[in-house]
Amino acid sequence: MAEFLLVTAAFVMAMVALGLVRILRGPRDADRIMAAQLFGTGGIAALLLLAEATSEPAAVDVALTLALLAAFVSVAFVKGAARSEVDGPVEMDGT
């Protein structure tokens, strides 16, 4: 069973690595933040799978911390986007 969990964690991380393309080439900031959220979610999933496969309870704590940080990043992005709309039109595509 541990081998299956390790292979699944490797597959999740491979899919998250594909999200790097969207972060590097995303046309808008919203695309980039969604890819960053994918990294957070995939990282949490991989850490939980690894924690179960290796019976390492500390990895669960790291996964929970990563989940908390991902929530804060989402809130900060939305607040920043809302603030920039109030201040005036700002190009959010990074160019």
Tell me: the pLDDT tens digits for 47-80? 999 999 999 999 999 999 988 988 888 888 888 8
Q: List pLDDT tens digits, range 82-94.
A: 777 666 555 656 5
Whole-structure pTM value: 0.72
Tell me: the pLDDT tens digits for 45-54?
A: 999 999 999 9
6 confidence band (pLDDT: 50, 70, 90): very high
Which pLDDT tens digit goes with each residue over 10-50? 999 888 888 777 777 767 777 777 877 888 888 899 999 99
In this predicted structure, what is the pLDDT of residue 88? Answer: 59
Q: Which long-range contacts (CB under 8 A, 24 or more apart) does 14-21 make?
A: 15/42, 16/42, 16/43, 16/46
Alpha-carbon distance values, 81 to 23, 28, 86, 90, 91 (Å): 18, 12, 9, 9, 11
